[in-house]
Structure 1
């Protein structure tokens, strides 16, 4: 079965769009931490024009559902909902951690991936995944927000060599180097829409879509620190 899916992600510093068609994947990606709202829609226009398609030609719209930056996740979902609503498309939310695992497979062909995004506040968004025969990823460690020290404390060695992905590995390298399992460094630092769209195809073929109204973020953390402005209580 051939499908056409547009995917976008702004959950981290990377801003990316990908369009899956019969001819392959058209994509744009740029690290632009403060310019997501300026970059994302022109990227959408670019890939649609390159493929010669419109939103109404698509079967679904996928998005990075988090975890990641609170603002970035909200921007991505909000724009995705607007596009999907206008074209009456079902939506597919994909974990940004799983997308990084897929990126490791795409780049290195590896099937055991440990992901860590710097979540600030001395914490990381953490997950470990094993690739399955159908191309999906099985969580070995459930996605969570956790301190690097606690990850080290709770982890045990196993037979796998885990390929690392995400900004957390560099941000907390002094702690994460103490992990007991074998690790190799990958080139994947951020999630990318071309990996989101590949995972979204699997979900679409399984019938795992939601309506625009049901599309929701996964923050993992229910609080955020911010500096109070003068006069704000």
Structure 2
């Protein structure tokens, strides 16, 4: 029996879950701004108590590794690494966009189109990739500015479902009868369960000392316009 604690903090969603052999047994999450630092450890404790498990019962820690929010990813990965060091457990890094795609595919097992997860990166930019129904990468992960020409080649003969907190803002720009958009939340630690379990079975672990989130873009500090 493989028990994994899973953390997702790449967007405004703060999420913790426990899985056993790839099936979620406990979940605690909330979508709100700037809550990760104060809520993540509380959510972890909540799922451990709900499942009636101790930290010694864990076999690994899995964390959403990005792309996504710089601050959110730092908090999630730092927490995961701290637990791994303290408990001497392996660390599993789960691609955030692939996790979102997996979450969507779990809602429709007969879906044969493409899935385009999008994480809002402000204005008309998103962190995105494109996957088929078997989770194979069709287009590589990138920071992409969306305009009227985006995905038109793929949409000419294939259905694409756009998901994530960056998808809905693109619904008036990406126009095609083959484009559909979902406003449901797929940034949930529960969607890591099968991916993390598969990684555990193949010993696909991260180096705890050197692992860093996949930011995709450099963090830029903007200066305040008003001088105090």
Name the structure 2 match of 1:98: 98
Query: Secondary structure of 2:132's match?
Result: strand
Alpha-carbon RMSD across the aligned residues, in angstroms, is 2.4
Measure, in 2, the Cα distance between the counterparts of 1:209 and 1:142: 22
Q: How far off is 1:224 after superposition? A: 2.6
Measure, in 1, the Cα distance between the counterparts of 2:40 and 2:99: 18
Query: Secondary structure of 1:11's match?
Result: coil
Name the structure 1 match of 2:67: 67
- Name the count of aligned residue pairs: 225
Q: How far off is 1:86 after superposition? A: 0.7
Measure, in 1, the Cα distance between the counterparts of 2:55 and 2:149: 42
1:23-60 CA-to-partner distances (Å, cap 9, x unmatched) read 74211111122111111111111111122212221111
Structure 2, unaligned stretches of length 5 or more? none
Does residue 127 (structure 1) correspond to residue 126 (structure 2)? The answer is no
Does residue 212 (structure 1) correspond to residue 214 (structure 2)? The answer is no
Q: Alpha carbons of 1:121 and 1:223: their partners in 2 closer, same or farther (altered >3 Å)?
A: farther
- Normalization by structure 2: what TM-score? 0.88
Contact 2:16/2:27, CA 8 A, preserved across alignment: yes
Structure 1, unaligned stretches of length 5 or more? none
Q: How far off is 1:182 after superposition? A: 1.6
**Aligned 1:14-93 pairs, distance under 5 A:** 14-21=13-20, 24-93=24-93
- Normalization by structure 1: what TM-score? 0.86
Q: How far off is 1:168 after superposition? A: 1.5
